[in-house]
Structure 1
Amino acid sequence: MQLQFLGTGAGMPSKERNTSALALKLLEERGTIWLFDCGEATQHQILHTTIRPRKIEKIFITHLHGDHIFGLPGLLSSRSFLGGEDTLTIYGPKGLREWVQFSFEISNTHITYAIEYVEIEEGVIFEDDQFIVTAMELEHVIQCFGFRIEQKALPGELLIDKARELGVPKGPLLGKLKNGEDITLENGQVILSKEVTSPPKRGFVVTILGDTRVCENSKLLSREADIVVHEATFDHTTASHAANYGHSTNVEAAQIAKEAGSNYLILNHISARFLPSDIQTLLLEAKEIFPNSYIVNDFNQFSWKNNTLIKED
């Protein structure tokens, strides 16, 4: 799993930061990409990455402010031109479907693939045999959601030496055991999968929050998460502005991650009021509360390997 930030700014684009968009790359897990928010010019940002729009399987929209959705019609249109054929599912607040379809209608845009819209409410909004995604409302100036993405437990490793000791021959029977199936040998001996596999491995948990002031649901979504992506539009000197405008500070985000027992915190949605020279100060303030903190720039990418978050160069 990888996280790549396509836009890390707040409100409107600046020379340093584009508006909100984040790609959750699940290429190893399912061969697809999930996109969270799609601010203006997201498709242009994608041109500077290895992301292929036709690989985008799902788009999750936190809320309907322009800096989180104005890039959506263009990206959806380009996905047709770039050979996207598979169904795309878009999750978001009520009104998103109407807005996208109206944009297509008045611009006479034709999409060559199916789009499924899911107008979300609190609770589980997606589940299959690999992942479960839960949404909860946050506290912003309009309806806004945060998402908790949980990878289900992975099968344990096959203990080949132990299987061979029990008389399992090379071939498809080993594969069945690895996949959790019990088998019967030619001599009638039954081999249980649990006898020759290690315990299941815990999957990763990623929490991606939309714009929000400090609230209990942020903490609930972040509880014991491996990675929390939290906005930090303001700093502690402008905390009153943060609350009034439905946003958080770097210090407040760090406190949420700490109280939730999270492992890593990634701060984004940084106001243009902060110059590049201010970023280190913002980061140090967060680290005083939650040491495993990062502040991201556009195009930063992180990999999750061996239960460790690795920032790539």
Structure 2
Amino acid sequence: MQLTFLGTSAGRPTKDRNVTSIALSLPEPMNSFWLFDAGEGTQHRLMGSKLKLNKLDNIFVTHLHGDHVYGLPGLLSSRSYFDGAGPLKLFGPSGIRAFIEGVFRLSGTHLAYDLEIIEITSGQILDDGKFKVEAAELDHRMPCFGFRIIEYPQPGQLNMERLAELGLAPGPLYGKLKQGEDVTLASGEIIRAADVVSPPTAGRVITVLGDTYPCGNSIALAKDANLLVHEGTFGPGMEAKAAAYGHSTVLQAAETAASAGVKQLVLTHFSSRFDKETIGSLLDAAREVFPHTIAADDYMEVDIPKSV
């Protein structure tokens, strides 16, 4: 699994950073990706990546501020021109349906695929048998959500050497053993799954938060996550300004990561007032609170290794 940051600026784009959008590439054999927010220019950023719109399955919108949604109409429209573009689900807060349907109606846009728009509330919003997604409302100037993506545990690996010793050739029984089922051979001998399959691997947890002032739901969504994506709109000493606009400083993001016990924090959504050198200084300050912190750049790819 891998996160690709397509836009890391807050409010408006800069020469170096587009506005918010993050892609989550899913593991094989799925070979698809999900998108979190789509600020203006997101489809242009996608063109500079290895991601293709016909591989996009789900879009999750944190809130309806323009730097998070103005790229949606164009992206959804362009997807019709990609061969193999199947049904797509769009999850977002109340109002996302009116926004999309209004733009499409006024512009005469028609899609060549099925688009399902789901207006969400807090709680579980998706379970596809491989991943679950939970949403909770954050503390911002308008309704805004964060998302907790939970991968189901992965089956253990077959001990091929032991199976060969037992005389069991590859075939359908391998699948049953891998799923934890004991099997009985024609001889009457029972092979127990626990004897030939390693323990399952815990699934990964990724938390992607929308714009937010520090709040309890941020910590709850990020609890023990493998990776947390948190906005870092403002720098140290700007707490009052952050509170006024419903945002966080990089130190507050680091404090949330520490409180939640996450493995890694990625800061994004930086104010356009900060240049690259300043963001380096902000990163140093955040690492004083939570050492396992990185600052996202546009097109940065962050791998999410399997849980041990």
Shorter-normalised TM-score: what interval? over 0.9
* Rounded Cα–Cα distance in structure 1 between residues aligned with 2:306 and 2:120: 33
Q: What is the DSSP-based 3-state SS (H/G/I as helix, E as strand, rest coil) of the residue aligned with 2:117?
A: strand
Q: What is the DSSP-based 3-state SS (H/G/I as helix, E as strand, rest coil) of the residue aligned with 1:255?
A: helix
* Rounded Cα–Cα distance in structure 2 between residues aligned with 1:266 and 1:22: 12
Q: Structure 2 regions of 5+ residues with no counterpart?
A: none
Q: Which residue matches 2:230? A: 230
Question: Quick check: 2:202–2:307 contact (8 Å CA) kept in 1?
Answer: no
Q: What is the DSSP-based 3-state SS (H/G/I as helix, E as strand, rest coil) of the residue aligned with 2:234?
A: coil
Query: Map of 1:57-68 to 2, 5 A cutoff?
Result: 57-68=57-68
Question: Quick check: 1:84–1:113 contact (8 Å CA) kept in 2?
Answer: no
Q: Which residue matches 2:201? A: 201
Query: Map of 1:157-236 to 2, 5 A cutoff?
Result: 157-236=157-236
Q: Which residue matches 1:150? A: 150
* Rounded Cα–Cα distance in structure 1 between residues aligned with 2:114 and 2:161: 48
Q: 2:120 aligned with 1:136, yes or no?
A: no
Q: Structure 1 regions of 5+ residues with no counterpart?
A: 309-313
Amino acid at match of 1:12: R
Question: Quick check: 1:183–1:192 contact (8 Å CA) kept in 2?
Answer: yes
Shift of 1:279: 1.3
Query: Map of 1:102-113 to 2, 5 A cutoff?
Result: 102-113=102-113
* Rounded Cα–Cα distance in structure 2 between residues aligned with 1:154 and 1:307: 10
Shift of 1:306: 4.6
Question: Quick check: 2:55–2:85 contact (8 Å CA) kept in 1?
Answer: no
Shift of 1:165: 3.2
Q: 2:80 aligned with 1:72, yes or no?
A: no
Shift of 1:307: 4.3
Question: Quick check: 2:204–2:306 contact (8 Å CA) kept in 1?
Answer: no
Question: Quick check: 1:92–1:119 contact (8 Å CA) kept in 2?
Answer: yes
Q: Which residue matches 2:28? A: 28
Q: 2:44 aligned with 1:44, yes or no?
A: yes
* Rounded Cα–Cα distance in structure 2 between residues aligned with 1:17 and 1:240: 25
Question: Quick check: 1:53–1:84 contact (8 Å CA) kept in 2?
Answer: no
Q: What is the DSSP-based 3-state SS (H/G/I as helix, E as strand, rest coil) of the residue aligned with 1:305?
A: coil
Amino acid at match of 2:156: G
Identity %: 46
- TM-score w.r.t. the length of structure 1 is 0.95
Amino acid at match of 1:104: F
* Rounded Cα–Cα distance in structure 1 between residues aligned with 2:43 and 2:214: 31
Change (3 A) 1:193 1:257: same
1:212-243 Cα distance to aligned partner (Å, 9 max, x none): 00000000001100000000000112111001
Shift of 1:15: 1.0
Q: Which residue matches 1:311? A: none
* Rounded Cα–Cα distance in structure 2 between residues aligned with 1:9 and 1:40: 11
Amino acid at match of 1:290: F
Question: Quick check: 1:27–1:33 contact (8 Å CA) kept in 2?
Answer: no
Amino acid at match of 2:153: A
- TM-score w.r.t. the length of structure 2 is 0.97
Q: Which residue matches 1:294? A: 294
